[in-house]
Chains A and B, each alone.
Chain A
Amino acid sequence: MALLQIAEPGMSTAPHQHRLAVGIDLGTTNSLVATVRNGVPVVLLDEQGRALLPSVVRYAADGKIEVGQTAQAVQARDARNTIVSVKRFMGRGLRDVAHVETMPYDFVASDGMVRLRTVQGVKSPVEISAEILKVLKSRAEASLGGEMAGVVITVPAYFDDAQRQATKDAATLAGLNVYRLLNEPTAAAIAYGLDNAAEGVYAVYDLGGGTFDFSILRLSRGVFEVLATSGDAQLGGDDFDQRVYCWMLDHARISLPSLEDSRRMLAKAREIKESLTYRDEANMLLQLTNRDRIDLMLTREELAGMTRHLVAKTMQPVKKALRDASLKREDVKGVVMVGGATRMPHVQHAVAEFFGMEPLNNLDPDKVVALGAAIQANVLAGNRKTDEDWLLLDVIPLSLGLETMGGLVERVIPRNSTIPAARAQEFTTYKDGQTAMSFHVVQGERELVSDCRSLARFELRGIPPMVAGAARIRVTFQVDADGLLAVSAREQSSGVEAKIEVKPSYGLGQDEIARMLRDGFDHASDDLQARALSEQRVEAGRLIDATEVALAADGDLLSDAERAAVDATVSRLRDLAQGADHCAIKAGVEELNRATTEFAARRMDKSVRQALAGRSVDSLKV
């Protein structure tokens, strides 16, 4: 692919510093970590040489936490404390999760996100996912030999705000600096597109263990532009297993299997499903704990028959995305297949039939997402060479809006808007002397609030009393490049302001996360101090470097007095970073961030004007 040129050749990107960055595919079934090494994306292996880490976490009675293969090996024996497919619970309430009745967990009744009672206490999906991330983090640090500067974590494109926030919180708990949440199909498109120098309109069909995503992208001259995305956050290989499991119950005439048996049957169902990808028929033999025996034969055709409706279900998002992108199926040049479940022949056939061409299977469907994430992480770390530049334009999957009178939704940012996106809407008071106004933020496509997902409620107070309709309340939605929403409201005439980070109704509070972080260091509070200090020092160092590079390039944008103020703040932070007070360093970092806000905006202006004048810009390439 011809690459986007944004700097004159020969211009260096000094100061040259290679930052360690990785991409993590935090999957429902399997997780992976990858990095770019000598310009080549590679998946990092564990000590036994394995790439895939099963996304299974076991809380053992002796206080140990096992993750991956070891946990998977005992899942049937200790089903209640061994959590599989935790991704299905991220940012979800109990009511939202399919098949809870067949799950072996001890769910805690609560309003917010699902919680599980284990032998080590009540755990949220965020904490459980953090355990998986911690293992991948240490794998990466062991193999890269150093502290990681930042990570890119992939999420299903169809994840909503609550699910994305939960993923980011898990990373925070695991002590990771998240450069970006990246949509899984987009990551796959990057890996595929760069590898094959693809140009034109491509689609990514990603059927994993628990989620289905379908995205359409235009790849042209170094730009990856997502045109539309759609999917089903609760549809994946797990559902195929569930179908086979029900078939087993039926045919073996088992009505109420024990927890352990039920887990073993599900594992068997998955094994049979996978083997039917390569064979026409498979025998399933299973000895249950109550001495019952299952001895059944399943053919590939039967499997296809009993899961046909699931495959058909994936075609709805496919059609929707095409319509949203105003494209016909013939316009799609190739369909990249991602996710283990796309190995099933009847899934391949369905896609081939719909698009009238063979889908593209030349990348390992298990690894392509992690590889794409690694490539993106390398770019975000600032490690790319200028002649390897490309630009990624992604979208939000679901519309964002506000509740209005009568329980209706007023759409503020429609689905498939390119991110980051900001949009404001004005409202007014409807009563004389009204001093407060409440807002209900929702996500979804339906007209009625009750059919959408509630994200957050907040209130703007202290509006000066005026006659009805006189106040001008401007509500601003800001979606960042992670697809996360922040909402603020401001009364225009008085300047009264209310700001909220959208902490979703199904999320964790900041203080809850802080508590979990502390709990993680229960036994060694010195560790916590040491970690905080080292994190703040790294942050301070990073910021000072970046500021100095910026000053060297664009110092002329500041007056002498402004320059002196920034310089003073820098040297104050430098002094603080010598000390051992992590809170003081943090305050110093914040102060420098504030002190350079205007400078950053002016530099941005300058770069835009230069781009318009047709000149390339090297000043931003710090």
Chain B
Amino acid sequence: MSKPRFEDFFELFGLPRAFRIDDGVLAARYRELAAQVHPDRFAHLGEADRRAAVSYASDVNEAYRTLGSTLARAQYLLHLAGQDAALESNTAMDTSFLMEQMEWREAVSEARAAQDVDELDHLRLRLHDRMDLGLDQLGDEIDDQRDYAAAADSVRRLMFLDKLGREIDAALEQLDT
């Protein structure tokens, strides 16, 4: 199966390879591309066209998902720079962050045990604020300082916070039922 002949997702969307991108432009480009390649445009054609559309549209969707999420975008940029954030680096997480992790975990499990929906909602908001701070820093590290090792470290922290966010969501979901 033939794949799109584009260097990377940024080129596909005609965007500069950077962490700070214009969300509005990204969304608009996505719509233009999706409109061109969506399988709905090819449903009445032959199998070759239908298959090509499914394959191409899947890639466009994956590209949008990746660039549309700040954390996935950062990981992708690091991957392009040859720095894989998923792998543990040799710089161990500093103790202050380990402490912070423990505090978060404790707060979440207490709220969960107490079935305290308001507290969980509150933690969710706080967590998002905390992540916004981290994302600002990530923008500096990737776009300005080009310090990919530091950025990889930041990404790992954010991944922890992101995972915690999903745990809060799951707890809230359970309390709904």
**With contacts A421-B61, A481-B54, A597-B51 known, is A391 near B34, CB below 8 A?**
yes
**Considering the complex, which residues of chain B in the window 24-53 have a beta carbon less than 8 Å from any beta carbon of chain A?**
29, 31-41, 43-49, 51-53
**With contacts A316-B176, A596-B48, A597-B51 known, is A612 near B61, CB below 8 A?**
no
Main secondary structure of the interface of B (DSSP, over half): helix
What residues of chain A lie closer than 8 Å to B32, measured between beta carbons?
611-612
Say which residue of B12, B46, B47, B53 sits within 8 Å of A604 (CB atoms): B53
- The answer to whether A319 has its CB under 8 Å from any CB of chain B is yes
**With contacts A391-B31, A592-B46, A611-B32 known, is A478 near B40, CB below 8 A?**
no
Q: Roughly how many angstroms separate A130 CA and B56 CA in the complex, as a whole number?
A: 33
Say which residue of B4, B40, B46, B51 sits within 8 Å of A543 (CB atoms): B46
**With contacts A480-B39, A546-B49 known, is A320 near B54, CB below 8 A?**
no
What residues of chain B lie closer than 8 Å to A423, measured between beta carbons?
62
- The answer to whether B70 has its CB under 8 Å from any CB of chain A is no
| A401-423 Cβ-contact flags toward B at 8 Å (1 or 0) | 00000000000000001111111
Q: How many residues of chain B are within 8 Å of chain A by beta carbon?
A: 45
Asked if residues B56 and A150 are in contact (CB atoms below 8 Å), the reply is no
Q: Roughly how many angstroms separate A172 CA and B51 CA in the complex, as a whole number?
A: 20
Asked if residues A323 and B173 are in contact (CB atoms below 8 Å), the reply is yes
- The answer to whether B5 has its CB under 8 Å from any CB of chain A is yes
Asked if residues B38 and A391 are in contact (CB atoms below 8 Å), the reply is yes
Say which residue of B1, B43, B65, B172 sits within 8 Å of A180 (CB atoms): B43
Say which residue of B3, B33, B48, B56 sits within 8 Å of A593 (CB atoms): B48
Q: Roughly how many angstroms separate A417 CA and B66 CA in the complex, as a whole number?
A: 12
Complex: chain A residue closest to B172, CB-CB: A323
- The answer to whether A561 has its CB under 8 Å from any CB of chain B is no
- The answer to whether A369 has its CB under 8 Å from any CB of chain B is no
How far, in Å, is A550 (CB) from chain B's closest CB?
Answer: 8
What residues of chain A lie closer than 8 Å to B44, measured between beta carbons?
19, 149-150, 179, 380-382, 542, 546
- The answer to whether B169 has its CB under 8 Å from any CB of chain A is yes
**With contacts A418-B65, A546-B45 known, is A611 near B36, CB below 8 A?**
yes
**With contacts A417-B61, A612-B29 known, is A600 near B48, CB below 8 A?**
yes
Asked if residues B61 and A481 are in contact (CB atoms below 8 Å), the reply is no
Complex: chain B residue closest to A315, CB-CB: B176
- The answer to whether B90 has its CB under 8 Å from any CB of chain A is no
Complex: chain B residue closest to A180, CB-CB: B43
How far, in Å, is A428 (CB) from chain B's closest CB?
Answer: 15
**With contacts A422-B55, A592-B46, A608-B56 known, is A481 near B40, CB below 8 A?**
yes
Asked if residues B46 and A391 are in contact (CB atoms below 8 Å), the reply is no
Asked if residues A480 and B65 are in contact (CB atoms below 8 Å), the reply is no
**With contacts A480-B54, A600-B51 known, is A607 near B176, CB below 8 A?**
no
What residues of chain B lie closer than 8 Å to A547, measured between beta carbons?
46
Asked if residues B176 and A320 are in contact (CB atoms below 8 Å), the reply is yes
- The answer to whether B141 has its CB under 8 Å from any CB of chain A is no
Say which residue of A420, A422, A600 sits within 8 Å of B49 (CB atoms): A600
- The answer to whether B57 has its CB under 8 Å from any CB of chain A is yes
Asked if residues B55 and A4 are in contact (CB atoms below 8 Å), the reply is no
Asked if residues B33 and A608 are in contact (CB atoms below 8 Å), the reply is yes
| A298-336 Cβ-contact flags toward B at 8 Å (1 or 0) | 000000000000000000100110010000000000000
Asked if residues A316 and B177 are in contact (CB atoms below 8 Å), the reply is yes
Complex: chain A residue closest to B13, CB-CB: A612
What residues of chain A lie closer than 8 Å to B83, measured between beta carbons?
none
Complex: chain A residue closest to B12, CB-CB: A608
Q: Roughly how many angstroms separate A41 CA and B135 CA in the complex, as a whole number?
A: 48
**With contacts A223-B31, A422-B59, A597-B2 known, is A6 near B36, CB below 8 A?**
yes
Asked if residues A620 and B5 are in contact (CB atoms below 8 Å), the reply is no
What residues of chain B lie closer than 8 Å to A421, measured between beta carbons?
58, 61-62
Asked if residues A420 and B5 are in contact (CB atoms below 8 Å), the reply is no
| A587-622 Cβ-contact flags toward B at 8 Å (1 or 0) | 001001110111111111101100110000100101
Complex: chain A residue closest to B39, CB-CB: A481
- The answer to whether A379 has its CB under 8 Å from any CB of chain B is yes
Say which residue of B37, B40, B62 sits within 8 Å of A607 (CB atoms): B37
What residues of chain B lie closer than 8 Å to A320, measured between beta carbons?
173, 176
- The answer to whether A392 has its CB under 8 Å from any CB of chain B is yes
Asked if residues B169 and A323 are in contact (CB atoms below 8 Å), the reply is yes
Asked if residues A593 and B47 are in contact (CB atoms below 8 Å), the reply is yes
Asked if residues B36 and A608 are in contact (CB atoms below 8 Å), the reply is yes
| A142-169 Cβ-contact flags toward B at 8 Å (1 or 0) | 0000000110000000000000000000
How far, in Å, is A42 (CB) from chain B's closest CB?
Answer: 21
What residues of chain B lie closer than 8 Å to A223, measured between beta carbons?
31
What residues of chain B lie closer than 8 Å to A599, measured between beta carbons?
48
Complex: chain B residue closest to A395, CB-CB: B61
Asked if residues A6 and B46 are in contact (CB atoms below 8 Å), the reply is no
Q: Roughly how many angstroms separate A594 CA and B14 CA in the complex, as a whole number?
A: 31
- The answer to whether A393 has its CB under 8 Å from any CB of chain B is yes
| A373-406 Cβ-contact flags toward B at 8 Å (1 or 0) | 0001001111000000101110000000000000
| B3-15 Cβ-contact flags toward A at 8 Å (1 or 0) | 1110000001110
> Top 6 A-B pairs ranked by shortest CB distance?
A601-B2, A422-B58, A380-B43, A600-B52, A596-B48, A600-B48
Q: Pick 22 A–B contacts, CB within 8 A, sort by A.
A: A4-B35, A179-B44, A180-B40, A320-B173, A418-B65, A420-B57, A422-B58, A479-B58, A481-B54, A547-B46, A550-B49, A593-B46, A599-B48, A604-B52, A608-B4, A608-B12, A608-B36, A608-B56, A611-B36, A612-B32, A612-B33, A620-B41
11 further interface pairs, Cβ-Cβ under 8 Å (given A550-B49, A601-B1): A180-B43, A320-B173, A381-B44, A382-B44, A391-B38, A596-B46, A596-B48, A600-B2, A602-B2, A608-B56, A611-B36
